[in-house]
């Protein structure tokens, strides 16, 4: 079943990416007066002619590993009206660029969609009221120093990063009141029901509180100060002595300042603050640290607002492009090995797509497949713009030479170069595919990324 999902999902994802790429070529060619004789999904042999529109045959082909927009006289010396080689330099360049540009636009859309469906990681914290809160906070019964734990039975988590556009993961019910559970003077207290909209307003106003208890105890080492003091897995660190632990004031930094002196570490456990005494070790065993604890952060993935998602889609697309462009430089300078670069062919990409789809199904989230599809779309754009024969970038290189020389290379000679280049690229793809089969690299662990 998993193999079937991998094959089907790979064909569908690749089909969508290639469709938009070739659609870009098709639309630009039509606008430039170039005749598109066939718009094909998959590679021949042809299965069926779907329909004909304005002189173009739209076809379905047997090999589901790509697609094409076949333009009149593309690799020949045809200089008749409507032929690719008869078009102006600007028209040919525009047509060639349109495919990769369409993939860049698609990558932005897919990245943005991944953020909108819950692709933004949020570091969680509980809100502790500041000394001079607004009337919004006092109206729901909170006092300075209170820590809001729950509202309406749901954890009242806020974003530990106050500048993040996602302020809170708590959502107010459509209507009605909610009870509040707060920590006041170290003990849990239930406040009278208040309007849920007021609670939402408080959580959205980051000037009213500080995010606390961002550090969670994952486990303790045997015979360590943490174990001897009774720290337990799941404890949330509140303060060391009188210093509250926050995202800006890290536990490790505060413990280091104790320099072997006894200290009081206070944690949240079962909705109550528990104070423990311990002495950090000056020379702890390797890998244990002064307290002998393994710590982690509370986090989740949450939907990002629309406009921020679009902006992050742009940022992530061009960040990925930057990483791809850095690869050759790092390989040449020896800063990265060929194995670390992990170049993948159809088999390796199919495994990644299958893993992303299976993760989306298992965890009930679209984020993995949207994220991977965005990466693949950006990669398709950059790869096609490489100045290699048979690729869009190779054809653009010939147009650049024509512009510099003021005279074009013979279409027949250029076509021969592209044919040889295509055969070399096909040979390289076969080699990479054999390597993917013989020595498959590890696929992305989406469960770990999602915190599952």
Strands annotated E in 145-201: 147-151, 154-155, 158-159, 177-184, 187-195
**Domain containing 257 — which CATH number?**
2.30.42.10
What is the average pLDDT across 360-369?
85
Angle at 449 between CA 9 and CA 451, to 5 degrees: 115
Are 62 and 139 part of one and the same domain? Answer: no
- C-alpha 356: how far from chain center: 12
pLDDT confidence of residue 119: 73
Q: What is the pLDDT of residues 253-297, one digit of tens each?
A: 899 888 788 999 999 998 889 999 999 998 888 888 889 999 988
Are 182 and 280 part of one and the same domain? Answer: no
Are 171 and 287 part of one and the same domain? Answer: no
What is the average pLDDT across 68-84?
81
Which range has the worst mean pLDDT, 61-75, 132-146, 198-212, 386-400? 61-75
Nearest to 196 by CA among 174, 169, 168: 174
pLDDT confidence of residue 336: 66
Tell me: pLDDT of 120 over 60: yes
Are 168 and 258 part of one and the same domain? Answer: no
Based on the structure, what is the number of domains in the chain? 3
Q: What is the pLDDT of residues 386-403, one digit of tens each?
A: 888 888 998 899 999 989
Q: How much is the mean pLDDT over the chain?
A: 87
122: confidence class by pLDDT, cuts 50, 70, 90: confident
Long-range contacts of 418-425 (CB under 8 A, 24+ apart): 418/75, 418/389, 418/390, 418/394, 419/75, 419/390, 420/389, 421/388, 421/389, 421/390, 421/391, 421/394, 422/389, 422/390, 424/389, 425/388, 425/389, 425/390, 425/391
**Does 254 reside within a domain?**
yes
Angstrom distance (rounded) from CA 67 to CA 15: 8
pLDDT confidence of residue 288: 86
pLDDT confidence of residue 339: 63
Are 410 and 443 part of one and the same domain? Answer: yes
**Does 302 reside within a domain?**
no
pLDDT confidence of residue 337: 65
Last residue of a domain, one of 189, 211, 233: 211
What is the average pLDDT across 151-160?
90
Are 324 and 444 part of one and the same domain? Answer: yes
92: confidence class by pLDDT, cuts 50, 70, 90: very high
**Does 230 reside within a domain?**
yes
**Domain containing 153 — which CATH number?**
2.30.42
pLDDT confidence of residue 62: 87
Q: What is the pLDDT of residues 417-439, one digit of tens each?
A: 888 888 888 888 888 888 878 87
Tell me: pLDDT of 75 over 90: no
**Does 305 reside within a domain?**
no
pLDDT confidence of residue 63: 81
What is the average pLDDT across 215-238?
92
Q: Which domain holds residue 243?
A: 215-296
* 294 vs 165, residue with greater confidence: 294
Are 45 and 164 part of one and the same domain? Answer: no
**Cβ contact 426:334 at 8 Å:** no
Are 444 and 326 part of one and the same domain? Answer: yes
**Cβ contact 229:265 at 8 Å:** yes
Nearest to 9 by CA among 433, 372, 445, 265: 372
């Amino acid at each position: 079943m998993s193999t079937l999902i991998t094959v089907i999902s790979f064909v569908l994802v690749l089909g969508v990416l290639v469709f938009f790429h070739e659609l870009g070529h098709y639309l630009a060619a039509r606008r430039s007066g170039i005749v598109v004789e066939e718009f094909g999904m998959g590679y021949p042999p042809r299965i069926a002619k779907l329909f004909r529109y304005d002189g173009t045959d739209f076809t379905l082909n047997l090999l589901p590993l790509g697609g094409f927009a076949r333009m009149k006289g593309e690799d020949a010396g045809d200089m008749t009206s409507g032929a690719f080689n008869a078009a102006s330099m600007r028209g040919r360049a525009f047509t060639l660029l349109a495919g990769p540009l369409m993939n860049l636009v698609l990558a932005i859309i897919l990245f943005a969609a991944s953020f909108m469906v819950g692709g933004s990681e949020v570091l969680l914290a509980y809100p502790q009221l500041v000394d001079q809160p607004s009337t919004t906070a006092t109206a729901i019964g909170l006092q300075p120093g209170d820590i809001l734990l729950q509202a309406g039975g749901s954890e009242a988590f806020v974003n530990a990063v106050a500048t993040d556009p996602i302020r809170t993961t708590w959502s107010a019910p459509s209507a009605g009141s909610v009870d509040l559970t707060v920590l006041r003077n170290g003990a849990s207290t239930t406040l009278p029901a208040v309007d849920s909209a007021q609670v939402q307003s408080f959580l959205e106003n980051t000037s009213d509180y500080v995010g606390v208890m961002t550090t969670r105890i994952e486990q303790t080492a045997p015979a360590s100060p943490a174990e001897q003091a009774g720290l337990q897995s799941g404890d949330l660190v509140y303060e060391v002595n009188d210093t509250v632990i926050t995202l800006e004031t890290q536990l490790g930094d505060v413990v280091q300042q104790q320099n072997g002196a006894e200290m009081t570490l206070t944690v949240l456990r079962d909705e109550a603050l528990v104070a423990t005494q311990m002495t950090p070790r000056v020379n702890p065993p390797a890998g244990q640290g002064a307290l002998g604890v393994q710590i982690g952060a509370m986090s989740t993935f949450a939907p990002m607002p629309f406009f921020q998602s679009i902006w992050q889609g742009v940022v992530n697309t061009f960040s990925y492009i930057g990483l791809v462009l850095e690869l050759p430089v790092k390989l040449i300078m020896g800063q990265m090995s060929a194995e670390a670069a992990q170049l993948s062919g159809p088999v390796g990409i199919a495994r990644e797509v299958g893993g992303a789809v299976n993760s989306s199904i298992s965890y009930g989230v679209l984020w993995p497949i949207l994220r991977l599809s965005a990466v693949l779309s950006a990669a398709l754009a950059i790869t096609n713009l490489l100045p290699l024969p048979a690729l869009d970038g190779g054809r653009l290189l010939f147009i650049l030479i024509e512009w510099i020389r003021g005279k074009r290379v013979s279409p027949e000679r250029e076509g021969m170069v592209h044919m040889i280049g295509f055969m070399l690229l096909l040979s390289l793809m076969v080699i990479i595919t054999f390597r993917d089969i013989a020595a498959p690299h590890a696929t992305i662990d989406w469960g770990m990324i999602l915190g599952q």
